[in-house]
């Protein structure tokens, strides 16, 4: 009896992954700055890494020529050998890689993952759309291919996850014994590990990523922490900031996520910003962050150009997190969007003037996100108020603060 193990490591563990379409590569054009400052075009790589993915990717890259475009992967994983081959192509091309999901305008009301939209993605046409990070995934074999890129940017609101490879064994000459099957499985896993370790050695990558993956059965999935993403060099940045994005949920929101750590710190801190509207002239900005220590009675200040606004103290607290809120009118919102960045800082409650900390927040994406938010806002309601009065709250909104000039 002859055993012929045929490995197919890295297929996705989630049920939705097994039915995913084969990975497609499409050239997409969006609005100005859709993929970052000065970037309006990108390559969308969407779907499961199948047995011919690397050949199709090489052909696609040859077709687009010397254009240096970021590549956004959104994949549940798939064939490990093909993922490593794609990683080698990325290295050859000195590519810039990110994780994000692309929505195409040409799909209209069709589901983005439906058959009609998938055919569009595989058509080779230049398409039009938007790219999003929240909800995007790069799982199973996908993180390995990311390592091949010269530039790797992993947004703070995407998911990277790993697990042990899946190995399929084919035997000829009869039914193998349990012992023979176990031996064949062990050899196949050793071959898979050797292949990945050789790839990582050529890239100078940390083999700890494979150690983490092998600690999780194929049926499970281990989501990588931000600390692991940095340690395994998937993205070494100590500050990671998403663009401002609009989401049409039950209530339209504009949001942004920032992860950061200071020199010498091992853990990242998370700041989430969320903007909602009550009408065309009344907006609320909420800031959720780790509660700072040693700042008894401190408040939060926002500065944009010559304008400074105080978030009214105290914030809402939940465990080691705190949420601050401030009201803004339409003019203040427009000024916020027009500034290249704003600053947040802590201020002592009894200070004559607040001392801003060096915490700049970029405004990229804010103008287009605000335009989409404004389209969902009801008309303004004129409300007579004395100067300096707090903007009245809408029922159900969070009890936070009105916009107040900083002293």
pLDDT exceeds cutoff 60 at 13? no
Asked if residue 140 has a cis previous peptide bond (ω within 30° of 0), the answer is no
Mean pLDDT confidence for 344-368: 67
Strand partners, 72: 44, 98
- On the question of pLDDT at 4 being above 60, the answer is no
Average pLDDT over every residue of 159-173: 77
Q: How confident is the model at residue 180 (pLDDT cuts 50, 70, 90)?
A: low
Instruction: Choose among 59, 387, 78: nearest CA to 218.
Output: 78
- Would the pLDDT of 15 be above 60? no
pLDDT for the residue numbered 329: 92
Q: Between the CA atoms of 304, 153, 256 and 373, what dihedral angle is there, to the nearest 10 degrees?
A: 100
The pLDDT score that the predictor gives to residue 248 is 83
Q: How many CB atoms neighbour CB 119 within 10 A?
A: 12
Tell me the three-class secondary structure of 125-168, residue by residue.
CEEEEEEECCCCEEECCHHHHHCCCCEEECCCCCEEEECCCCEE
Q: State the DSSP H helix or E strand holding residue 198, giving kind and residue range, or none if neither.
A: helix 178-203
Label the pairing between strands 159-162 and 101-104: unpaired
Copy the structure tokens of residue 363: 């405004």
Name the band, by pLDDT with cuts 50, 70 and 90, for residue 365: confident
What are the tens digits of pLDDT across the range 384-402?
444 444 444 333 333 333 4
CA nearest 319: which of 299, 348, 289, 287?
289
Confidence of residue 26 (pLDDT cuts 50, 70, 90): very high
- Tokens 């969320």 locate to 274
pLDDT at residue number 114: 84
Residue 147: pLDDT band with limits 50, 70, 90: very high
Tell me 106's DSSP state: G
The pLDDT of residue 361 is above 60:
yes
Report residue 252 as tokens.
Answer: 């339209």
Residue whose pair of structure tokens reads 């992967």 in the numeric block: 73
Q: What is the CA angle 332-281-274, rounded to 5?
A: 65
**Token pair belonging to 96:** 């810039």
Q: What is the pLDDT of residues 29-82, one digit of tens each?
A: 998 888 988 899 999 999 999 999 999 999 999 999 989 999 999 999 999 999
Averaged pLDDT for residues 358-386? 80
Return the H-helix or E-strand segment holding 18.
helix 15-18
pLDDT at residue 5 above 70? no
Work out the average pLDDT over 213-242.
94
Q: What is the DSSP letter of 41?
A: E
> In sequence order, which residues have a C-beta less than 8 Å from that of residue 339 and are 6 or more positions away?
304, 305, 363
Burial of 64-85, coded b for 16+ CB within 10 Å and e otherwise, reads eeeeebbbbbbbbbbbbbbbbb
Instruction: Give the highest mean pLDDT range of 41-45, 121-125, 303-307.
Output: 41-45
Q: For residue 80, what is the enclosing H or E element? A: helix 80-93
In this predicted model, which residue has the larger pLDDT, 141 or 111? 141
Q: What is the pLDDT of residue 183?
A: 67
* Domains in the chain: ranges and CATH: 2-231 (3.90.226.10), 239-405 (2.60.40.1880)
Report residue 341's pLDDT band, with 50, 70 and 90 as the boundaries: confident
Percent of the chain with pLDDT over 70: 79
Give the residue-averaged pLDDT of 331-359: 69
What is the H or E stretch that residue 370 is in? Answer: helix 366-374
Res 367: pLDDT: 87
Q: Which residues contact 304 (CB under 8 A, 6 or more apart)?
A: 335, 336, 339, 342, 343
The whole-angstrom separation of Cα 202 and Cα 21 is: 31
> 11-20, 165-174, 242-251 — which one is most confidently predicted on average?
242-251
pLDDT at 113 over 90: no
Give the model's confidence band at 352: pLDDT under 50 very low, under 70 low, under 90 confident, else very high: very low
- pLDDT tier at 404 (50, 70, 90 boundaries)? very low
70 Ramachandran zone, left/alpha/beta (phi>0; psi -120 to 50)? beta
Share of the chain above pLDDT 90, in %: 51
Cβ atoms 126, 148 nearer than 8 A: no
User: Which of 184, 182, 230 has its CA nearest to residue 208?
Assistant: 230
299-303 mean pLDDT: 81
pLDDT at 167: 63
Cβ distance 132 to 103 under 8 Å? Answer: yes
Q: pLDDT at position 387, please?
A: 44
Cα–Cα distance, 108 to 61 (Å, whole number) = 27
Mean pLDDT calculated for residue range 321-341: 88
Q: Is the pLDDT of residue 376 over 80?
A: yes
Query: Given this model, what pLDDT does residue 354 score?
Result: 41
With a cut of 70, say whether residue 199 has pLDDT above it: yes
């Amino acid at each position: 009896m002859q055993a012929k193990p045929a490995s197919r490591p890295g297929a996705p563990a989630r049920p939705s992954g097994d039915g995913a379409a084969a990975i497609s590569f499409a050239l997409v054009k969006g609005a100005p700055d859709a993929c970052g400052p000065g970037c309006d075009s990108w390559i969308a790589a969407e779907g499961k890494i199948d047995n011919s993915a690397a050949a199709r990717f090489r052909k696609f890259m040859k077709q687009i020529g010397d254009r240096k475009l970021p590549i956004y992967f959104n994949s549940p994983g798939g064939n490990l050998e093909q993922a490593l081959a794609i990683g080698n192509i990325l290295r050859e091309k000195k590519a810039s890689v990110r994780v994000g999901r692309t929505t195409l305008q040409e799909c209209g009301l069709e589901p983005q993952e439906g058959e009609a939209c998938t055919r569009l993605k595989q058509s080779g046409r230049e398409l039009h759309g938007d790219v999003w990070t929240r909800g995007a995934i790069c799982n199973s074999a996908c993180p390995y291919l990311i390592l091949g890129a010269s530039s790797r940017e992993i947004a703070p609101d995407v998911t990277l996850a790993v697990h042990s490879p899946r190995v399929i064994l084919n035997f000829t000459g009869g039914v193998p014994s349990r012992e023979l099957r176990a031996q064949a499985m062990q050899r196949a896993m050793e071959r898979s590990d050797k292949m990945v370790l050789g790839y990582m050695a050529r890239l100078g990558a940390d083999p700890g990523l494979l150690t983490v993956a092998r600690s999780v059965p194929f049926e499970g999935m281990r989501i990588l922490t931000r600390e692991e993403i940095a340690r395994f060099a998937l993205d070494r940045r100590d500050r990671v900031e998403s663009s401002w994005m609009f989401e049409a949920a039950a209530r339209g929101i504009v949001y942004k996520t920032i992860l950061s750590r200071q020199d010498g710190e091992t853990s990242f801190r998370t700041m989430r910003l969320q903007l909602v509207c009550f009408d065309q002239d009344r907006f609320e900005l909420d800031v959720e962050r780790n509660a700072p220590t040693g700042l008894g009675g401190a408040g939060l200040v926002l500065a944009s150009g010559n304008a400074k606004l105080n978030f009214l103290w105290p914030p809402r607290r939940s465990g080691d997190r705190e949420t601050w809120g401030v009201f803004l009118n339409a003019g203040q919102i427009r000024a916020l969007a027009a500034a290249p960045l704003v600053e947040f800082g802590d201020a002592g409650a009894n200070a004559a003037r607040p001392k801003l900390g060096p915490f700049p927040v970029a405004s990229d994406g804010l103008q287009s996100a605000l335009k989409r938010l404004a389209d969902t806002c009801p008309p303004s309601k004129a409300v007579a108020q004395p100067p300096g009065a707090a903007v009245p709250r809408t029922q159900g909104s969070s009890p936070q603060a009105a916009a107040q000039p900083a002293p």
